[in-house]
């Protein structure tokens, strides 16, 4: 999953030879999960066809104020639709028009209507790029708050070699991703999250476990990634999947596995959220072979598993440490006791007595309990609950 996933990106294409790269750019943006619409200048159609870009973007491509049926292409709607606008390639002519507000084509009027961040990637020959007027246009656009994607050096269409090539599509996408991430509240932070159940083996076939699906932990990881954090996701057995360049997934089976992984990642974490439903006990003896069924009663002696959260609490230095409590009786009292004993910054309480909370539910109803207050929330989707928890973390980190 990319930080661009789900974003509305408006791609402006102008009339330079680098316009052929726009097809690759659209493919990369779509691969990142973005919704892409394309606005072209009429001159750019000499270098790449609207049909190609329409097919790749899965949206109609516009290049004039009216279509063939004389219907109006609304530049204001396009500008307001976009979460970000990217103009690539941006020729010297277009840079000048953008800087001066010379709105004589659909692309420039759309640019002037956009309320979102605007990125521009110049493309022109070496001497054109070095010319004082081009530099002045770029400086003016930067002063307006637009984001400048530096041209690269290499062979140019003129046969010369030097600075002026449009940045490669991969580098443009990476620039935008990194720029967005740098402005997010958890950029540069590392969060370790435990998720799912643990399975404690009885024999090669059977285990002691619980009904946790792991969804709450995965929603927390997804929300942390949206906020720019690098995430270590330590998960027990689950069917949930999550992919992101900032995500490190560590699959574990037992409480001991989870304990060792959590300890190894703790020192380098800024935030740790223990959302896993860890087995409290494990068989004292594990059988190497499958136990055969008999008419006799079977007795299995159990011993405690490591208390992961309590141990992390003893190691805590700079970390924000968050735990979960699933209770059935004396709920707030028990949660407050865990908060203190395990040296937590806060604890998230949910109750099995609430029909909308607990294992294998799409919703949850929580209370955030700190040393000074109890914050109650309505029933929400687990994704929204994850957002509430991360928002509280941001609040106490300020």
Q: Which of 270, 196, 198, 267 is nearest to 231 (CA)?
A: 270
Q: Is 147 left (phi over 0), alpha (psi -120 to 50) or beta?
A: beta
- Paired with 46 in beta bridges are none
Taking the alpha carbons of 44, 142, 230, 171 in that order, is the dihedral positive or negative?
Answer: positive
Instruction: Report whether 11 contacts 37 (CB < 8 A).
Output: yes
The H-or-E segment that residue 259 falls in is helix 255-266
Cis? peptide before 102, omega within 30° of 0? no
The number of beta carbons lying within 10 Å of the beta carbon of residue 347 is 25
Residues labelled as active-site residues: 210
Q: Which strands sit side by side in the sheet containing 84-90, from one edge to the other?
A: 61-62, 35-40, 8-13, 84-90, 118-122, 147-148
The number of beta carbons lying within 10 Å of the beta carbon of residue 380 is 16
């Amino acid at each position: 999953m990319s930080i661009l996933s789900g974003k509305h990106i408006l791609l402006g294409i102008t009339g330079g030879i680098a316009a052929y790269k726009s097809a690759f750019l659209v493919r990369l943006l779509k691969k990142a999960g973005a919704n892409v619409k394309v606005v072209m200048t009429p001159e750019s159609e000499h270098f790449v066809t609207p049909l190609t870009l329409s097919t790749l973007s899965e949206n109609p491509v516009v290049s004039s104020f009216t279509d063939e049926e004389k219907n109006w292409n609304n530049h204001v709607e396009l500008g307001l639709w976009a979460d970000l606008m990217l103009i690539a390639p941006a020729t010297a002519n277009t840079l000048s028009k953008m800087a001066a507000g010379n709105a004589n084509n659909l692309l420039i009027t759309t640019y002037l209507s956009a309320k979102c961040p605007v990125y521009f990637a110049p493309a022109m020959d070496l001497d054109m790029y070095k010319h004082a007027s081009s530099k002045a246009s770029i400086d003016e656009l930067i002063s307006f708050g637009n984001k400048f994607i530096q041209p690269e050096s290499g062979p140019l269409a003129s046969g010369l070699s030097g600075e002026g090539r449009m940045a490669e599509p991969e580098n443009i996408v990476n620039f935008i991703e990194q720029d967005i991430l740098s402005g997010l509240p958890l950029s540069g932070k590392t969060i370790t999250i435990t998720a799912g159940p643990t399975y404690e083996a009885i024999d090669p076939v059977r285990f002691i476990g619980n009904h946790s699906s792991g969804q709450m932990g995965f929603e927390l990881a997804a929300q942390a990634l949206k906020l720019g954090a690098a995430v270590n996701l330590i998960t027990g057995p689950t069917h949930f999947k999550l992919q992101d360049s900032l995500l490190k997934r560590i699959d574990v089976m037992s409480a001991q596995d989870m304990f060792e992984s959590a300890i190894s990642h703790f020192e380098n974490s800024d935030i740790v959220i223990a959302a896993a439903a860890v087995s409290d006990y494990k068989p004292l003896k594990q059988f190497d072979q499958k136990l055969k069924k008999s008419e006799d009663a079977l007795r299995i002696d159990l011993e405690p598993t490591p208390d992961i959260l309590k141990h992390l609490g003893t190691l805590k230095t700079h970390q924000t440490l968050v735990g979960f409590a699933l209770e059935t009786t004396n709920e707030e009292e028990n949660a407050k006791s865990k908060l203190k004993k395990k040296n937590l910054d806060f604890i998230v309480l949910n109750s099995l007595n609430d029909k909308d909370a607990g294992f294998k539910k799409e919703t949850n109803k929580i209370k955030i309990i700190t040393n000074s207050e109890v914050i109650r929330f309505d029933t929400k989707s687990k994704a929204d609950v994850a957002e509430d928890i991360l928002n509280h973390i941001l609040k106490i980190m300020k």
